[in-house]
Amino acid sequence: MKKHNFSAGPAILPASVLKEAGKAAVNYEGMGLSLLELSHRGPEFTAIIEEANALMKEIIGLPDGYQVLWLSGGASTQFFMAPMNLLNSDETAAYVDTGTWANKAIKEAKGFGNVEVLASSKEKNYSFIPKGYKIPKTAKYLHLTSNNTIFGTQLHKFPKSPVPLVCDMSSDFLSRPFDPTQFGLIYAGAQKNLGPAGTTVVIVREDMLGSVQRYLPSMLDYRTFVAENSLYNTPPVFPIYVSMLTLRWIKKNGGLKGMQRRNKTKGAVLYQEIDRNPLFKGTTAVEDRSLMNVCFVMEEKYAALEKEFLKETEANGMVGLKGHRSVGGFRASIYNAMPKSSVQALADLMQDFAKRKG
């Protein structure tokens, strides 16, 4: 049976990438050795990381003055590593609270300086993206979370800011074009649109670094990895390789504009079905709906059918559709590599279920 992988993360990867990565795990480039066994100091991996960096810069359109870093520890490590590197104890950083991950970032930042929360949607269970808040010119930076996997909201337009933007793009990174010059720092766990769990991409503007007075341990100082091309210690070799393959796939399939077209088409299929289907309803403000994580629930009078529908999705090879406990219901994660056919299969099942049960 064909499987349709709607998991929020680690998430679906392109089939061609998985095939190539499988070969490399056994015998890399006909060397008779697995990529997992090769030295990260050798010419083979040097070529991989250099290609990954070049592709990242090309696909995003990064200008001079930005560095691409490949780290470990997930976005959760960046919650504290960013303020540790950017914020002095007597300075203030501005944050917008749009969900669980933004809230965790706020908590960590308070250990390194002052934090001003400009806006929050917590009172409505993070069902919308706050707008119209004033950004103080005195802030060191403004931290945003571009997409919220748990609640299914997405920042579709970044605010014009008098201070550099710092953004957690983990779950919609490389899913659409954006202007990188708005950002002083971007970080993203790879396991949504880029690669397997195990590496985290950080894109940093060089002039953001070196202004804090505190001691920074070498492994927590971005400048260490800038100076050593992310090779200060043994990096997550295989996740970086798979990410490089995915970057090749993104470039081949139209770059970020191609990904955006792909994702808008898939999102339209599913949201249209949610809106027309009498059994289901969305959980977020329409203007803030995520094109990465589509969250929906049963209409109240059909709530008793939730487990039955989930059971049918599983019987039809649909994996990972149970919603997060904070929201309930269902969550269809439709990242870059998710084919439209899988999204259509879910919409068709929803329609058929409504005919039988509605």
Residue-range domains of the chain with CATH? 4-9+255-357 (3.90.1150.10), 15-252 (3.40.640.10)
List 70, 97, 101, 140, catalytic entry:
101
pLDDT at residue 290 tops 90: yes
Would you give the DSSP letter of residue 322?
B
Strand 142-145 versus strand 165-168 pairing type: parallel
At 193, the pLDDT band (50, 70, 90 cuts) reads very high
Tell me whether residue 101 is one of the annotated catalytic residues.
Answer: yes
Find the DSSP H helices in the chain: 15-26, 43-60, 74-86, 100-109, 222-227, 237-252, 255-276, 306-315, 340-357
**Site of tokens 């696909």:** 59
Annotated active-site residue 192? The verdict is: yes
Encode pLDDT of 54-94 as tens digits.
Answer: 999 999 999 999 999 999 999 999 999 999 999 999 999 99
Length of the chain (residues): 358
Q: What is the pLDDT of residues 101-146, one digit of tens each?
A: 999 999 999 999 999 999 999 999 999 999 999 999 999 999 999 9
Residue 148 · residue 289 · CB < 8 Å: no
Cβ neighbours of residue 338 closer than 8 Å, sequence gap 6 or more: 5, 6, 12, 266
Output the DSSP codes for 273-291: HHHH-TTEEE-S-GGGB-S
Contact 67, 228 (CB under 8 A): no
Residue 326 has pLDDT above 90, yes or no: no
Give me the mean pLDDT over the 38-45 stretch. Answer: 96
Catalytic residue among 97, 168, 221, 288: 168
pLDDT above 90: residue 32:
yes
Does 222 have pLDDT greater than 90?
A: yes
State the Cα torsion 15-338-313-11 to the nearest 10°: 80
Does the pTM surpass 0.85? The reply is: yes
Of the residues 140, 172, 192, 266, only one is catalytic, namely 192
What local confidence, expressed as pLDDT, does residue 86 receive? 98
